[in-house]
Amino acid sequence: ALQGRHTDLSEALSDEMLRRHSLASMDKGSRAMAAAAAKDRKKKEISRSAQAKVETAVITGAGDGIGRALALNLNARGINIYMCDISPERLAETEALLNSSLSSVSTAIVDCGKRESIEKWAPEIATEVTTVEFLFNNAGVGYASEFRNADLDNFEWLMNINYWGVVWSTKAFLPLLEA
């Protein structure tokens, strides 16, 4: 592996030396034309990157914790965000932390433990965008109890959010992810 890197480095140095030699052997007018062409290529590269497609992310459970951290990170990267949470207050707190000049931010109150809530949200997003690059199924809950005292309704609630919520959300957003 070290030998391969050495070869690559040697080739890169050889290419750079050849480029410098070519520039040095040019007359003043040719060097100016080469410099202008290089400057033009640089402008085109910058223009292409400025026209780069803006990416879109969907985050469930964005009201706090990892979901909030994801929203902050993606916002800083200029990725448009659709985020949801079951708590309007926590979601508003996250939204207030984001810089709307860096990316667009859309919020929705969604209960990821209810299939119909997720299946209503995904088509709403599809009316605004044609593709989603990232889906963060982040909504999740915990439950702790001695098993003998555990309420089965709590286990069902936990599974609806932590398991089925991921399945329902992935299925609902799959057309946008595949677009």
What's the pLDDT tens digit per position in 47-66? 444 456 899 999 999 999 99
Name the average pLDDT for the chain: 84
What does the alpha-carbon distance between residue 85 and residue 72 come to, in Å, rounded to a whole number? Answer: 15
Least trusted range by pLDDT, from 4-8, 75-79, 113-117, 175-179: 4-8
Residues 3-34 have pLDDT tens digits of: 444 444 445 444 544 455 555 555 666 666 66
pTM score: 0.71
Instruction: Over range 129-148, report the average pLDDT.
Output: 96
